[in-house]
Amino acid sequence: MMNDELILVTGATGFLGVRLVRELLDRNPQATLALLIRDKPGQSGRLRADLFVPPSERSRVQVYSGDVGHPNCGLDAAAFERLTAETTRVIHSAATVRFDHSLEEARRINVEGTRRVLDFAAAAPRLRSFAYVGTAYVAGERSGLIREDELAIGQGYRNTYEQTKAEAEALVRSRLDSLPGVILRPSIIVGDSQTGVTSSFKMMYWPLKIYARGLWRTVPGYPDAVLDIVPVDFVAASVARIAFDPAALGGTLHLCAGPQGSATIQQIADRAMEFFHAPQPRYVDPKLFFAFVRPILFMALWGRKRRVLRDGRAYRDYFTMRMQFDTTNADRLLEPAGVRPPHVLDYLDRLFNYCVASEWGRKPLSVQ
């Protein structure tokens, strides 16, 4: 019975989380959502939720001030007892996605936060499913085809985000014998495939912006490097569906474009060249660039171009990846319901249009 569902969602205020909340409300009209949201100075969790929960749905949304980085997820004893008694499903998507956190700080949020949400789920007698939203980039520095059932096979990691998300996933896997859980691994999440709307202009958007504005055209990477991106509407629809699918329990799913839907850096650059009327990018061997070219440029350049060199370090490895994500498990469960990722090249222009219309996030638009 759907009317006895209480779905606890962490990470609800994030880019994916906001879309996921709306998807859950639309798909489950009788269910109640419990959102665990951190208070901010001068802004309570309730107020933060009201910014994205439609007024007509607020009676179905409970907001709890909390933090997965704290014992009992930051809930007081009464709230913890009430929530564990009533929760039927948990969707854990809260995480830090910053690449520059120290390992200690990233572990506090991504690993220990996941441990506390798992402990919460274990204390919930009515629990039907635990959906953990991880990342496909737990594959780290691997290449080739990455299978959904693979995790740690001795690979290294590019940053503390990848490492701690891999550690958190290992923790979830260790609990799957006792919890009805599923692991979901999206790749790089971008704007809506139909409207291009996004609230996050990181990852692919940052190098795209400096290229479109003529600030930089040198790419320390390989033209045949693979960029697997997926639109937020696909990921939210997938998570909302899989969280209720008993056939998914115990498994790991890549919510990715996969070999059939991803594109190379060159293909995306060609489309960007045409759209932004920009020059052909110059590809430079990344080892040569970071060992010799970048140090010289960093001393010679000032202003915006020097900031580009500084900020671009976080993204350097994503221009060199030669790995693809197998989507066999995800396809088996999602395709019968008509949920599948569009090919990257099919909606790139919509992403570009929104970037221009919103002035790269500086101009708020009313598109929903």
pLDDT at 311: 67
Over the stretch 191-220, which tens digit does the pLDDT of each residue have?
A: 999 999 999 888 788 888 888 888 777 788
Contacts of 12 (CB under 8 A, 6+ apart): 18, 20, 21, 35, 36, 37, 49, 93
Closest to 68 (Cα-Cα) out of 168, 196, 198: 168
Other residues' Cβ atoms within 10 Å of the Cβ of residue 51: 9
> Is 134 in contact with 239 (CB distance < 8 Å)?
no
Q: Which of 2-11, 93-102, 181-190, 296-305 has the lowest mean pLDDT?
A: 296-305
Domain locations along the chain: 2-192+229-259+324-342
Q: In terms of pLDDT, which residue wins out, 284 or 191? A: 191
Confidence tier at 326 by pLDDT (50, 70, 90):
very high
Q: Is the pLDDT of residue 310 over 70?
A: no
Mean pLDDT, residues 239-266: 97
pLDDT at 367: 53
Q: In terms of pLDDT, which residue wins out, 153 or 310? A: 153
Over the stretch 113-147, which tens digit does the pLDDT of each residue have?
A: 999 999 999 999 999 999 999 999 999 999 999 99
Mean pLDDT, residues 274-285: 90
Confidence tier at 315 by pLDDT (50, 70, 90):
low
Radius of gyration of the chain measured on its C-alpha atoms: 21
C-alpha distances out from residue 202 to 95, 102, 311, 314, Å: 16, 19, 11, 10
Average model confidence (pLDDT) across the chain? 90
Question: Token pair for residue 160?
Answer: 């503390």
Residues above pLDDT 70, as percent of the chain: 91
Of 3.40.1160.10, 3.40.50.720, 1.20.950.20, 3.30.420.10, which CATH number belongs to 2-192+229-259+324-342?
3.40.50.720
Separation of alpha carbons 286 and 227, rounded Å: 16
Q: How far apart are the first and last CA of the chain?
A: 31
pTM confidence score: 0.92
pLDDT at 207: 84
Sign (positive/negative) of CA torsion 221, 223, 225, 228? Answer: positive
Q: Is the pLDDT of residue 352 over 90?
A: yes
Mean pLDDT, residues 317-324: 84
pLDDT at 202: 82
* Highest mean pLDDT, choosing among 2-11, 197-206, 335-344, 354-363: 335-344
Mean pLDDT, residues 318-335: 93
Contacts of 351 (CB under 8 A, 6+ apart): 190, 191, 196, 198
> Is 321 in contact with 224 (CB distance < 8 Å)?
no
Confidence tier at 2 by pLDDT (50, 70, 90):
low
Phi and psi angles of residue 36, each rounded to the nearest 5 degrees, phi first: -95, 110
C-alpha distances out from residue 308 to 66, 167, 215, Å: 36, 31, 8
Q: Is the pLDDT of residue 1 over 50?
A: no
